[in-house]
Amino acid sequence: MGLLKDFKYYTPATLKEALGLLKKSRNSLILGGGTFSLNYLKKAAKYPTDVVGLKNVSALRGIKDSKGTVAIGAMTTISEICASAVIRKNFPSFVEACSKLATTPIRNMATIGGNVASRFFWVDLPAVLISLGAKISIAGPGKEKVVSVQEFLGSKPPEKYILTKVILPKSDSLSFYFRHTKTMPVDVPSLALAFFASLNKGRFSGVVLVVNTTISFPIKLKEVAAAIEGLRPKEVSLKNVLRALNIDAQNLKLDEYRIHCLATDLESLLRIL
């Protein structure tokens, strides 16, 4: 096990103070819940001179329910998200993914901001957040800006920034999350599928299916989505959906194991719908 080296540790009380510390630091690390950061510190090639802990920044905590969105403060823990009535009501797939993340002690520590900002696309949350059209708010030099989770994870990270919140759009929708592991349930998924669709006069619209393969950036099943789009739940054909999966699998070069898992998930999905 690696030993921690010396660094200066700061616990600012406000976001402005935290950003000021980042600006002055030569090589800093933002500390949220610490479940990723502490492991990083034990084996980092480029060790930080300063660690800025956000635990005292109250503005980064909590869940705010607005008319069209739900905003989750970056320092809100995974356990708090699982327990939130508004999250459970509007985003069941997100709750399912959060409840499968690691173990209870880790969920009590890990934060939504830290999970996304760590930029590990193979863990449970990125695929489901992309399927839900989630965005994040980033504070840094200049004005605070909002970008999609997909854009954030798929591009070079900005310098000296703090992720302040995750924003989920509300809609009359259905969402589900399916997960596979090869060993213990608390492992990272070997494969996961996130489904989202709005309901417009009883028909599916805006259908999104995102696959976490653990070996590549989250993948969208475009052909499968097209096979469901515009139909009523009882009109969706398993035969057509599996035919579309085979096309997606060829285009995306998915292996036989993942194709089998996805076929099983899609069959389960159609039974639920």
Measuring CA to CA, which residue among 160, 152, 99, 156 is closest to residue 126? Answer: 152
Measuring CA to CA, which residue among 152, 73, 57 is closest to residue 113? Answer: 73
Q: Which of 169, 184, 206 is the last residue of a domain?
A: 169
**Residue 25: which domain range?**
8-53
Q: What pLDDT is stored for residue 186 in this prediction?
A: 63
The answer as to whether 2 is a domain residue is: no
CA–CA dist 33, 21 (Å, integer): 19
The answer as to whether 28 is a domain residue is: yes
The answer as to whether 31 is a domain residue is: yes
The answer as to whether 1 is a domain residue is: no
Q: Based on the fold, state whether residues 240 and 160 are members of the same structural domain.
A: no
Q: Based on the fold, state whether residues 37 and 91 are members of the same structural domain.
A: no
The answer as to whether 243 is a domain residue is: yes
Q: Which of 106, 136, 169 is the last residue of a domain?
A: 169
Instruction: Kindly report the pTM of this predicted structure.
Output: 0.94
Structure tokens at 99: 């409840």
Q: What pLDDT is stored for residue 184 in this prediction?
A: 67
- 8 bridge partner residues: 50
CA–CA dist 113, 11 (Å, integer): 17
pLDDT tens for the chain, 273 residues long, are 457 778 899 999 999 999 999 999 989 999 999 888 877 777 777 889 999 999 999 999 999 999 999 999 999 999 999 999 999 999 999 999 999 998 899 999 999 999 999 999 989 999 999 999 999 999 998 889 999 999 999 999 888 999 999 999 999 999 999 999 877 666 789 999 999 999 999 999 999 999 999 889 999 999 999 999 999 999 999 999 999 999 999 999 999 999 999 999 999 999 999
Q: Based on the fold, state whether residues 198 and 141 are members of the same structural domain.
A: no
Q: Based on the fold, state whether residues 189 and 114 are members of the same structural domain.
A: no
The answer as to whether 3 is a domain residue is: no
The answer as to whether 257 is a domain residue is: yes
Q: Based on the fold, state whether residues 157 and 184 are members of the same structural domain.
A: no
Q: What pLDDT is stored for residue 5 in this prediction?
A: 79
Counting the structural domains of the chain, the total is 3
Q: What pLDDT is stored for residue 10 in this prediction?
A: 97
Could you give the C-alpha distances from 242 to 15, 94, 188, 202, 269, in angstroms and in order? 48, 25, 26, 23, 12
Structure tokens at 243: 């035919």
Angle at 79 between CA 153 and CA 208, to 5 degrees: 40
Measuring CA to CA, which residue among 210, 216, 213, 208 is closest to residue 188? Answer: 213
Q: Based on the fold, state whether residues 216 and 249 are members of the same structural domain.
A: yes
Q: Based on the fold, state whether residues 178 and 201 are members of the same structural domain.
A: yes
Q: Based on the fold, state whether residues 180 and 119 are members of the same structural domain.
A: no
CA–CA dist 87, 68 (Å, integer): 13
Contacts of 138 (CB under 8 A, 6+ apart): 144, 145, 146, 147, 152, 158, 161, 162, 163, 164
Helix (H, G, I), strand (E, B) or coil at 168: strand
Q: What CATH number has the domain bearing residue 76? A: 3.30.465.10
Q: What's 207's DSSP letter?
A: E
Q: Based on the fold, state whether residues 94 and 184 are members of the same structural domain.
A: no
The answer as to whether 156 is a domain residue is: yes
Q: Based on the fold, state whether residues 178 and 165 are members of the same structural domain.
A: no
Q: What pLDDT is stored for residue 158 in this prediction?
A: 84
Q: Based on the fold, state whether residues 92 and 177 are members of the same structural domain.
A: no
Q: Which of 124, 140, 169 is the last residue of a domain?
A: 169
Q: Based on the fold, state whether residues 182 and 210 are members of the same structural domain.
A: yes
Q: What pLDDT is stored for residue 79 in this prediction?
A: 97
